[in-house]
Amino acid sequence: MTHVLKILDIQPVTHDVNQYTLEKPEGYVFIPGQATEVAINKEEWKEEKRPFSFTSLPEEEHLQFVIKSYADHDGVTNELRKMEVGDELIVDDAWGAIQYQGKGVFIAGGAGITPFIGIFRDLEIKDELQGNALIFANKTAKDVILESYFRKALGNNFISILDKEQAGGHQNGRIDKDFLKTHVKDFTQEFYICGPDQMVQNISKILEELGAKPEAITFEK
């Protein structure tokens, strides 16, 4: 089922990421970590659907998405950057395999952080966030989405790693086998991965080599 929803608010999150708050249809349901297909309600964009994760909570009265815009090509996210309050988006029903299965390590690359935002917010409200950790990979410090939130919510269980610059408070490099061996003490716990496809494949393989069970590795199939 599709829903045509008005944009109620747009807030910048980083230099190329905005948070969009939308109307919420009556009876609309989703689980933190899930996503939906979204299109712009303009004639030339209606068929251009893209998947975005909910960053709002199921019980909240609005839907919310945190979306990175890619200005280097003339696609949906670049068009979204031009949207204004009152414009409309077309939103499908919820879907997605990324759901919380128990305490563990969340590993995100860039905009792959978005399904984890809703999960962390939900766990925080339930007072169940403690014992979870986040490893978040980005190019530069200015690319880190909601950095201050993760530092406050997770404390020492938040690790930021940058591969294009060195900056205080951030590791430098990429998430490889040595990095995971250094920063993860227990490979029998749950793992959640979201980011570019190649990154998800590479990290899943490394985790299995280090002793993680395949069924304990959650990612979008």
Question: So what's the pLDDT on residue 191?
Answer: 98
d(CA 197, CA 220): 9
d(CA 50, CA 84): 19
Could you tell me if 174 and 200 lie in one domain?
A: yes
- CB of 7 within 8 A of CB of 87? yes
pLDDT greater than 90 at residue 71: no
Which letter does DSSP use for residue 41 in this model?
Answer: S
Range of the domain at 127: 104-218
> Does any domain span residue 53?
yes
pLDDT digits (tens, 9 = 90+) for 190-211: 999 999 999 999 999 999 999 9
pLDDT greater than 90 at residue 154: yes
pLDDT greater than 90 at residue 38: yes
Question: So what's the pLDDT on residue 6?
Answer: 98
> Does any domain span residue 134?
yes
pTM: 0.96
d(CA 15, CA 17): 6
Closest CA to 28 of 49, 4, 10: 4
Question: So what's the pLDDT on residue 68?
Answer: 96
- CB of 88 within 8 A of CB of 4? yes
> Does any domain span residue 98?
no
Task: Look at residues 60, 91, 122 and tell me which one is the last residue of a structural domain.
Answer: 91
> Does any domain span residue 99?
no
